[in-house]
């Protein structure tokens, strides 16, 4: 719940260092209570861009997380499903692409630092940021396309190719090979 005067434009003021990360959840009521379970929903605008590739989740993009927190003997198990939207550019035709991102994660946050666990409970809190970031970034395509059969652009004219267009495969011989072809023919005929 946000107060009515909360910023609604999703922008992040980098000077507000003390403002808590929306990825941080308090688990005081679960700590050292094995068997206890809580479900929470987190909704916030991404404080920072997620992903550096051809598709990414922009800063300010709404992020929804269905979160389940379970107290275990060695720590708190966080299981979640992230819903957000990534934007990119079709690698074939350069049209903007919007991708629904829906990705699961599960991570144990240990009570004591231990080499077996990558994450720990600090001050009765879990910082889900690296876990969510990894899950989201790994789910983003390296080469987004606007649709699987996008024909792309004509390499010569730069115009969009018609639907169903099939690139001619090795129909046009590279000029360097063409020259070689001629050379070989000449040589062959000389030998005769």
**Separation of first and last alpha carbons in the chain:** 90
> How many amino acids of this chain bind Zn ion (CB under 5 A)?
6
User: Which of 21, 17, 1, 13 lies closest to 122 in space, CA to CA?
Assistant: 21
136 counts as binding Zn ion under rule CB under 5 A: no
Question: Taking the complex as a whole, how short is the minimal distance between the CB of residue 133 and Zn ion, in angstroms?
Answer: 27
Indicate which single residue of 24, 31, 150, 161 sits in contact with Zn ion (rule: CB under 5 A).
150
Distance between CA 20 and CA 13 in Å, rounded? Answer: 12
90 counts as binding Zn ion under rule CB under 5 A: yes
Helix (H) or strand (E) holding 176: helix 175-191
How deeply is 69 buried, as exposed, middle or buried, from its count of CB atoms within 10 A (0-12, 13-18, 19+)? buried
Indicate which single residue of 93, 103, 110, 161 sits in contact with Zn ion (rule: CB under 5 A).
93
Tell me whether residue 33 or residue 147 sits nearer to Zn ion (CB atom): 147
Distance between CA 92 and CA 77 in Å, rounded? Answer: 41
Tell me whether residue 90 or residue 126 sits nearer to Zn ion (CB atom): 90
Look up tokens 């107290």; give the residue.
71
Tell me whether residue 24 or residue 93 sits nearer to Zn ion (CB atom): 93
Tell me whether residue 123 or residue 163 sits nearer to Zn ion (CB atom): 163
Kindly indicate which of the ranges 11-19, 24-32, 43-51, 83-91 contains the residues binding Zn ion, using the contact rule CB under 5 A. Answer: 83-91
Q: How far is CA 70 from the centre of its chain?
A: 26
Cα→Cα distances 65→83, 120, 179, Å = 6, 20, 61
Site string for Zn ion, 30-69 (x = CB under 5 A): ----------------------------------------
Kindly indicate which of the ranges 56-64, 82-90, 115-123, 129-137 contains the residues binding Zn ion, using the contact rule CB under 5 A. Answer: 82-90
Q: Which residues bind Zn ion (CB under 5 A)?
A: 90, 92-93, 95, 146, 150
């Amino acid at each position: 719940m946000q107060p009515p005067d909360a910023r609604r434009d999703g922008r992040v003021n980098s000077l507000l260092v003390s403002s808590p990360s929306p990825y941080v959840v308090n688990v005081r009521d679960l700590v050292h209570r094995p068997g206890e379970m809580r479900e929470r929903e987190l909704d916030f605008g991404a404080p920072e861009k997620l992903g550096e590739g051809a598709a990414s989740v922009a800063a300010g993009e709404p992020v929804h997380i269905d979160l389940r927190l379970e107290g275990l003997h060695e720590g708190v198990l966080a299981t979640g499903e992230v819903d957000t939207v990534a934007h990119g550019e079709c690698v074939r035709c350069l049209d903007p692409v919007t991708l629904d991102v829906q990705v699961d994660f599960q991570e144990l946050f240990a009570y004591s630092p231990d080499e077996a666990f990558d994450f720990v409970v600090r001050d009765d809190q879990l910082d889900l940021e690296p876990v969510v970031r990894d899950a989201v970034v790994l789910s983003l395509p390296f080469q987004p396309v606007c649709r699987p059969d996008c024909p792309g652009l004509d390499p010569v004219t730069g115009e969009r190719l018609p639907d169903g267009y099939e690139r001619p495969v090795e129909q046009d011989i590279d000029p360097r090979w063409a020259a070689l072809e001629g050379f070989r023919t000449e040589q062959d005929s000389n030998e005769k």
